[in-house]
Amino acid sequence: MNLNDLHLFVQSVESGGFAAASRRLNVPKSTISKRVAELETQLGARLIHRSSRSFVLSDLGREFFEHARAAITEAETARDVVLRRKAEPSGPVRITTSVPTAQYMLARCLPDFAIAYPKVELRVHATDRFVDIVQEGYDIALRSHFAPLPNSNLIQRKLSEEPIHLIAGTRYLAQNPEPETPEDLATHAAILTGAARTEWVLNHADGHSAAVSPKAAMIADESALILSACISGMGVTCLPVSFYAGVAKQGLVRRVLPEWEAGRVTTTAVMPHRRGQLPAVRAVVEFLASQPDDPPPDPDHWP
C-alpha cells in the first residue's frame, strides 16, 4: 500500500473534501482524487461516497480512516525523530489564540522566541471565534478556560494558571470608600463581563467563599475595554493578574479585597497529535510553558 495515498486520503477527510485538501497541500485536486480512487481500487472497497455536492465517508471508510490516520501519525513521528536530532526548529508555525491572550501573554514574550529561533516563521491569528484547529490547519491553539477542557484526540499542554483579582481604579477609590468585605460590593458600581454574569463568586484564602451581586455600571466582553473603564473610574471589576499588572505598577488601578480571588484562569496549548511532534511546534510550546506565571515588574514590557 502506497503511504502517499494514505496521506492524501487522510488529508482529504480531515479537510472535508478534495478541493480543501488541494488548497491545504498545494497539490492539484485531480491528483488527489485520482490517488484516492486508486487506493479504493487496490482495496476493492468504496471508502468515500462523493458527488459534486457531497463528500461522505462510508461505514468502512470511517473505520479505515482511523487506522490510516494512526499509520500516518506513526510515520511522521518516525521522520520527526530524525529531524529533531539533525536540525534546529524551522518552518512555519500557525497559532490561533484569543485577542486577550495575544495582547497580554504573547505580546510580552513571543518576540523573544522569534529572536531566539530565527528559522521559525510564526503566524499568529488572534480571534474570539472558536477555531477548529484540525479543519483549519493550525498547529497550536491557545485556550484560556476556567473548567478543565474536554477530553479529545488533541494533545493538551498546560502553560499557566493565574488568579483573577478584584481591582478598582485609583480615581474611583479616591471618591468611594474601599470595600472591606465582599458584602460591601453590593453598594459599589461594577464593570461586568456579561449580562448573565451579574454575580461574583469569591474565594477567600482560608477556603470559604461568598457570592455578591454588585451594581452594573457597564457590561462588556472585551478585556481591554473593561480595563480602560476601570482606569477611568467607572467601578470595581475582575481581571486576571497579568491583564492589569502593568497599569497597577503605574498606580492607575489597585487590587481591593486582597485576601479574595474571583476564580482562576488556565491557559492551555492544544495541538493535533502529529503536528505537536514537529520540532518548531514543540519549541514554541516549550518556550511558552517556561514563561514565569508572575508578570514582569517593569510596566514598559506590557502593551
User: Cβ–Cβ contacts within 10 Å for residue 111, how many?
Assistant: 11
Give the mean pLDDT of the chain: 87
Mean pLDDT of 78-95: 79
Q: Does the pLDDT at position 48 exceed 80? A: yes
For residue 91, what is its C-alpha cell?
518552518
pLDDT of residue 177: 93
pLDDT of residue 80: 76
Mean pLDDT of 177-186: 93
pLDDT of residue 194: 74
Domains of the chain: which residue ranges?
3-86, 92-159+267-301, 162-264
Q: How confident is the model at residue 195 (pLDDT cuts 50, 70, 90)?
A: low
- Each residue's pLDDT tens digit, 133-181: 888 889 999 998 877 787 778 889 999 889 999 999 999 999 999 999 9
* Percentage of the chain modeled with pLDDT above 90: 53
Cα 127 to Cα 41, 96, 105, 212, 284: the distances in Å are 43, 7, 14, 31, 19
Mean pLDDT of 223-240: 94
Mean pLDDT of 196-215: 88
User: Cβ–Cβ contacts within 10 Å for residue 170, how many?
Assistant: 15
Do 162-264 and 3-86 have the same topology in CATH? Answer: no
CATH number for 92-159+267-301: choose from 3.30.1490.100, 3.40.440.10, 3.40.190.10, 3.40.50.1860: 3.40.190.10
- Each residue's pLDDT tens digit, 18-35: 999 999 899 999 999 999
pLDDT of residue 196: 65
- Each residue's pLDDT tens digit, 261-300: 999 989 999 998 766 678 889 899 999 999 876 554 444 4
User: Cβ–Cβ contacts within 10 Å for residue 274, how many?
Assistant: 20
Mean pLDDT of 46-69: 88
Q: How confident is the model at residue 82 (pLDDT cuts 50, 70, 90)?
A: confident
3-86 maps to CATH 3.40.1280.10? no
pLDDT of residue 163: 92
The dotted CATH code for 162-264 is 3.40.190.290
Please indicate whether residue 294 or residue 222 has the higher confidence score (pLDDT): 222
Cα 241 to Cα 20, 238, 246, 258, 282: the distances in Å are 41, 9, 9, 12, 27
- Report how far residue 198's alpha carbon sits from residue 201's, in angstroms, rounded to the nearest whole number: 10
- Each residue's pLDDT tens digit, 96-139: 998 889 988 898 899 999 999 999 999 999 998 888 888 888 99
- Report how far residue 17's alpha carbon sits from residue 52's, in angstroms, rounded to the nearest whole number: 10
pLDDT of residue 85: 61
Name residue 190's beta-bridge partners: 216, 236
